[in-house]
């Protein structure tokens, strides 16, 4: 009986494992959110005339975009010296859209750039030893968008070796003793650090010994990613975050000449230039129109369309008061990646360089999109 009872005893039930919690759906926040004008921090711009002039320049590069044509046509008739008329024009033809990050926040990084002036020569001399290169003949630019549309925002750069395409020379090789680009020099300059910052700015002016001044503009890049030497100096304890500026990096270079070449070589990216016509006083941006000091922005065109007006809310460099104004998206940059990200064009000369070197603060952006385009888009979605 005991054996029977033992054999008839039921084993305790084991509860099945709890099912895993359902995955949390990832919420993708739209990059551009339409908002009323009252929510644009700082609107209206008290001096909107220069913004209208910058937008009229943008219209030269927007001829193939029909959604901007009504606004561009109407802008020609607006009295640029009448702030009220300019304000009414933008409010009538555009809707502000706040630019937001993927997580929904609206704050991003604002930096600055300018047009530096370097002392140079068309021939190497004892003073002018550092070459500034034009576009190499062997630089390949590979566009894969027709095969891989998802790669439409990317361009591969390289050179042919045998039957293979390999990465193009990086900075260390180009500036090294083998001189693979010998014969492609446009100018020679005095200071390698100033030349390095010319690469970062993308445009500059060369002052020749006889007094002639030549404007240079970005022609292309070697395809290698940009690496910040300022960040490297921070990581090595050479200066603190509060000390970090273009001016202090240049001062560090003057005090550590034996370390300059190694530091610059840490950034493999290299920019090639083209010489502009003698009459050009201000270089064009990526939109192909002349930049306007204090009113042109470099942006990431994957979020903000080139040519569009953009209202920016930030602060003056160095901890100054609020800086809120209407600008124009007219340029791009290798380091300008992300939704709420912009580079403020300060202009030409030492004062502009001082502002640009100290611009690194938080900011908010509102891109103005034509109402006509939104009406057309809505009509297409209606049954």
Q: Which two tokens stand for residue 274?
A: 């083209």
- pTM comes to 0.80
Q: For residue 317, give Cα distances in angstroms to 8, 90, 291, 360, 362.
A: 85, 27, 20, 7, 11
- What pLDDT is stored for residue 29 in this prediction? 86
Length of the chain: 383
Cβ contacts of residue 88 below 8 Å, gap of 6+? none
Q: Cβ atoms within 10 A of the Cβ of 381, count?
A: 6
- The pLDDT averaged over each successive group of 10 residues in the chain (383 residues) is 46 64 71 96 96 97 92 96 97 98 95 94 95 96 78 80 94 94 96 93 92 93 91 92 87 93 94 92 92 96 96 91 97 90 94 92 97 51 36
Beta bridge pairs of residue 96 = 368
For tokens 């300022």, what's the residue? 230
Q: Which two tokens stand for residue 245?
A: 């500026």
- What pLDDT is stored for residue 142 in this prediction? 86
CB-based burial, 50-66: b 16+ in 10 Å, e otherwise: bbbebbbbbbebbeebe
CATH 3.40.50.300 for domain 32-112+287-381, yes or no, is: no
- What pLDDT is stored for residue 383 in this prediction? 35
- What pLDDT is stored for residue 375 in this prediction? 45
For tokens 């006889």, what's the residue? 210
Q: How far is CA 15 from the centre of its chain?
A: 58
Domain boundaries, the chain: 32-112+287-381, 118-275
- What pLDDT is stored for residue 368 in this prediction? 98
Q: How far apart are CA 16 and CA 18, in angstroms?
A: 6
- What pLDDT is stored for residue 170 in this prediction? 96
Q: How far apart are CA 358 and CA 244, in angstroms?
A: 8
CATH 2.40.240.50 for domain 118-275, yes or no, is: yes
Q: Which two tokens stand for residue 140?
A: 């390949």
Tell me which H or E stretch contains 173: helix 171-174
């Amino acid at each position: 009986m005991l054996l029977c009872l033992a054999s008839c005893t039921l084993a305790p039930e084991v509860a099945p494992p709890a099912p895993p919690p359902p995955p949390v759906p990832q919420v993708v926040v739209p990059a551009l959110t339409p908002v009323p004008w009252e929510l644009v921090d700082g609107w209206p711009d008290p001096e909107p005339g220069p913004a209208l002039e910058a937008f009229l320049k943008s219209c030269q590069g927007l001829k193939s975009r029909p959604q901007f044509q009504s606004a561009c046509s109407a802008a020609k008739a607006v009295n640029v010296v009448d702030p009220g008329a300019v304000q009414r024009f933008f409010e009538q033809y555009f809707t502000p859209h706040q630019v937001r990050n993927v997580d929904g926040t609206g704050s991003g990084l604002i930096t600055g750039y300018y047009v530096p002036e370097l002392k140079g020569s068309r021939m190497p001399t004892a003073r002018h030893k550092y070459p500034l290169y034009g576009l190499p003949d062997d630089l390949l630019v590979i566009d894969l968008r027709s095969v891989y549309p998802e790669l439409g925002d990317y361009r591969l750069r390289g050179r042919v070796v045998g039957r293979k395409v390999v990465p193009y020379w990086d900075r260390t090789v180009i500036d090294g003793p083998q001189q693979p680009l010998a014969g492609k020099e446009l100018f020679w300059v005095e200071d390698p650090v100033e030349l390095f910052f010319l690469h970062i700015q993308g445009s500059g002016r060369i002052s020749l010994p006889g007094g002639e001044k030549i404007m240079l503009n970005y022609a292309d890049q070697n395809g290698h990613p940009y690496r910040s030497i300022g960040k490297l100096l921070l990581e090595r304890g050479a200066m603190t975050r509060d000390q970090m500026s273009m001016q202090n990096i240049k001062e560090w270079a003057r005090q550590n000449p034996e370390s300059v070449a190694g530091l610059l070589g840490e950034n493999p990216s290299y920019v090639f230039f083209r010489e502009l016509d003698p009459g050009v006083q201000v270089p064009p941006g990526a939109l192909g129109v002349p930049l306007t000091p204090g009113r042109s922005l470099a942006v990431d065109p994957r979020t903000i369309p080139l040519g569009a007006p953009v209202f920016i809310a930030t602060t003056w460099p160095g901890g100054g008061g609020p800086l809120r104004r209407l600008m124009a998206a007219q340029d791009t940059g290798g380091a300008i990646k992300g939704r709420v990200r912009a580079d403020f064009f300060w202009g030409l000369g030492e004062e502009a360089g001082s502002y640009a070197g100290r611009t690194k603060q938080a900011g908010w952006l509102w891109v103005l999109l034509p109402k006509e385009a939104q009406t057309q888009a809505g009509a297409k979605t209606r049954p």
